[in-house]
Amino acid sequence: MDAIRILSGIILFLSLAGNMTGAKKGLKAAVSQYKEKPKSYLQKVPPNISASILLLIVLGIFNIGTISINEKYLIYNVIGLILFALGSFLQVHSFKTMGNNYSQEIIIFNKHQLVTSGIYKIIRHPQYLFQIISDLGAGIALGSYLIVPIVIILEIPLFVKRAYLEEKLLAKYFLDEYEKYKSKVGFMLPKWGK
């Protein structure tokens, strides 16, 4: 179990290093000129839930808020660790694909472009999907009795609502282009058979 905690710490460190770019771009959004930034609890609450989960992951690495795992169930911790690593990597990849259109807030910049390349060819909201997978994976890997319920009860519904708010904003500014994109690409899971 110590190896899983050490590997979780390494994954967390690498994820935070990758997310520093996103944090800088989030700061840019705060000072940039933009067309629209809706006022909604969905601007701040979901990111604050994610920050709380991040804190719980750090505590879990130090065996706080976790349960003792029986060796015969170790496979679940390993699967969680893989999900944590994969989700973290793909989340960072998702926001890097957005380039200058990325913001930690729901916003339309003056020079905003609709991103439909990379992972966005497959799903419209990969950042949220991979954040959920990453957080859930970390909770399972660490045996956290705090992280898993928070992800299921709070994070998933709030991210889905936040994604729908983004959809309304994108549809408003990209009109037919967004509707065409939306008809071909899945919300948080790929569309099969098209």
pLDDT of residue 22: 63
Q: How far is CA 178 from the centre of its chain?
A: 22
Distance CA 165, CA 65 (A): 33
Instruction: For the chain, give the DSSP string.
Output: -HHHHHHHHHHHHHHHHHHHHHHHHHHHHHHS-EEE----GGGTHHHHHHHHHHHHHHHHHTTSSB-PPPGGGHHHHHHHHHHHHHHHHHHHHHHHHHGGG--SS--EETT-----SGGGGTBS-HHHHHHHHHHHHHHHHHTBTTHHHHIIIIIHHHHHHHHHHHHHHHHHHHHHHHHHHHHHSBSSSPPP--
**Cβ(162)–Cβ(46) below 8 Å:** yes
pLDDT digits (tens, 9 = 90+) for 72-126: 889 999 999 999 999 999 999 998 899 888 888 899 988 899 999 999 999 999 9
pLDDT tops 60 at residue 29: no
Higher-pLDDT residue of 29, 153:
153
- pLDDT for 99 equals 86
How do residues 141-194 score in pLDDT, each as one tens digit? 999 999 999 999 999 999 999 999 999 999 999 999 999 999 999 999 998 865
pLDDT category, 68, cuts 50, 70, 90?
Answer: confident
For each of the domains in the chain, give its residue range(s) and CATH number, in order of start. Answer: 2-184 (1.20.120.1630)
pLDDT confidence of residue 90: 96
Task: List the Cα angle 177/87/120 in 5-degree steps.
Answer: 10
Distance CA 105, CA 46 (A): 10
Identify whether the C-beta of residue 138 lies closer than 8 Å to the C-beta of residue 56. no
Confidence category of residue 70, pLDDT binned at 50, 70, 90: confident
